[in-house]
Amino acid sequence: MTTLEILRRLCEADGVSGDETAASQAAAELLRAYTDDVTIDAFGNVLADIPAADPDAPRLLLDAHIDQIGMIVTHITDDGFVRVDRCGGIDRRLLLAQEVVIHGSRPVPGIVGTLPLHLTSGDAAKKVAEMDEIAIDTGYTKEELLQWVAPGDRVTHVSEFTQLQNGRVTSRSLDDRAGVASILNALERVKDKPRNFALTVVFSVQEETGGFGAASTSFRVKPDAAIAVDVSFAHTADADEIKCGKMGGGAMIGISPILNRGMYDELVSLARTRRILWQPEVMGGRTGTNADEISIAAGGIKTALLSIPLKYMHTPVEVVQVSDVEAVGDLIAQYVLNCGE
């Protein structure tokens, strides 16, 4: 499968934090092209073990989170509106007048209601709705909805995976299905080649709500080193260029107090010698990714962070450039093949 096909397949699978089953199953199926040892643990994480020829080889953990932001049903009002809360860092500014799907015992389509501009005035017209003011209209009565919808059901935006120009794509949940695709790209590059590392691949759950999936697997696996793969901010017209990566600029290599400087230097050296496009991403403390949880697990794990530039994060129209996804995959592969001795 091409990177584009993998991205489409992953993004079309639903997987809001805490209910990632469909996305986890899609990722597990793609992983089985590289090893028969693929499992989904009790927490929902997808794990794959790919041994090295040397049974004493150091173990490298490759992590990308499989969950996406969304909403969770809190209750149904007497007049049939579905009330929700956020599940992950959803942007309230973008919720009104959006098409959504409630993932109950059967999918239930709906729209997020909004008051017409004609009926608002003054500050009310500028106010961003609070989550307890958000109501989903499905057209059903409360009695009808109770057949299929219950508190705790997840809600996702309706969003179509679309190819844009110059190798770019837009979809929901590219955060972090793009990272999952990068790891799969790396596995394809190292397949059947001698490696210095045994690999544990983790497509972790619940990153958007606290990084719990990565924390639990890191404690259990206790790898010698880890690379976390996520997305980061790409420059847009209204963003500070200094705080953003460049789309099409290749892999963003993280440097931060919590990340391992030696691994950073190795990744930069590999990118330069192998002519892989890269750009530094400097952070003054925590990274806001699974790297934070992995690095302090099991007594401390050497951890690096690779990120893919992404526009419009945490919206239904996130954008990545496929070449950046592949650059991250190439850099991971070069690290797996050339480091770890």
Higher-confidence residue: 120 or 141?
141
**Residue 104 is part of which domain span?**
70-157
Asked whether residue 42 is domain-assigned, the answer is yes
Same domain for 126 and 230, yes or no, is no
pLDDT at 120 over 70: no
Same domain for 289 and 193, yes or no, is yes
Residue after which a domain boundary falls, among 99, 132, 157: 157
Same domain for 48 and 88, yes or no, is no
Same domain for 293 and 279, yes or no, is yes
Same domain for 83 and 143, yes or no, is yes
pLDDT at 127: 75
Asked whether residue 135 is domain-assigned, the answer is yes
Looking at the chain, the whole-number percentage of residues with pLDDT higher than 70 is 96
Q: Please write the tens of the pLDDT for every residue from 268-278.
A: 999 999 999 99
pLDDT at 115: 66
Same domain for 217 and 262, yes or no, is yes
We report the CATH number of the domain holding residue 224 as: 3.40.630.10
Residue after which a domain boundary falls, among 157, 183, 211: 157
pLDDT at 94: 86
Question: Please, what sign has the CA dihedral across residues 110, 116, 117, 123?
Answer: negative
* Confidence bin at 129 (pLDDT 50/70/90): confident
What would the mean pLDDT of 39-43 be, rounded to a whole number? 94
Same domain for 283 and 322, yes or no, is yes
pLDDT at 123: 65
Q: How would you write 189-244 as a 3-class SS string?
A: HHCCCCCCCEEEEEEECCCCCCCHHHHHHHHHHCCCEEEEEEEEEECCCCCCHHHC
pLDDT at 184 over 80: yes
Same domain for 178 and 319, yes or no, is yes
pLDDT at 121: 64
Asked whether residue 136 is domain-assigned, the answer is yes
pLDDT at 130: 86
* Confidence bin at 331 (pLDDT 50/70/90): very high
pLDDT at 44 over 70: yes
pLDDT at 124: 62
* Confidence bin at 28 (pLDDT 50/70/90): very high
Asked whether residue 310 is domain-assigned, the answer is yes
Least Cα distance to 238 among 175, 312, 168, 164 occurs for 312
pLDDT at 4 over 80: yes
pLDDT at 242 over 70: yes
Which two three-digit tokens encode residue 204?
């972790």
pLDDT at 91: 87
For Cα atoms 170, 171, 172, give the angle at the middle one, nearest 5 degrees: 145
* Confidence bin at 125 (pLDDT 50/70/90): low
* Confidence bin at 116 (pLDDT 50/70/90): confident
pLDDT at 103: 97
What would the mean pLDDT of 149-164 be, rounded to a whole number? 96
Same domain for 312 and 293, yes or no, is yes
Least Cα distance to 254 among 264, 269, 262, 266 occurs for 264
Same domain for 147 and 13, yes or no, is no
Asked whether residue 164 is domain-assigned, the answer is no
Number of domains into which the chain is organized? 2
**What is the value of pTM for the model shown?**
0.94
- CB neighbours of residue 136 within 10 Å: 26
Asked whether residue 206 is domain-assigned, the answer is yes
We report the CATH number of the domain holding residue 110 as: 2.40.30.40
Residue after which a domain boundary falls, among 157, 183, 207: 157
What would the mean pLDDT of 166-173 be, rounded to a whole number? 96
Same domain for 232 and 144, yes or no, is no
pLDDT at 119 over 60: no
pLDDT at 117: 65
Q: Please write the tens of the pLDDT for every residue from 294-318.
A: 999 989 999 999 999 999 999 999 9
Which two three-digit tokens encode residue 9?
């397949």
Asked whether residue 331 is domain-assigned, the answer is yes
Asked whether residue 167 is domain-assigned, the answer is no
Same domain for 302 and 256, yes or no, is yes
pLDDT at 229 over 90: yes
pLDDT at 290 over 60: yes
Looking at the chain, the whole-number percentage of residues with pLDDT higher than 90 is 84
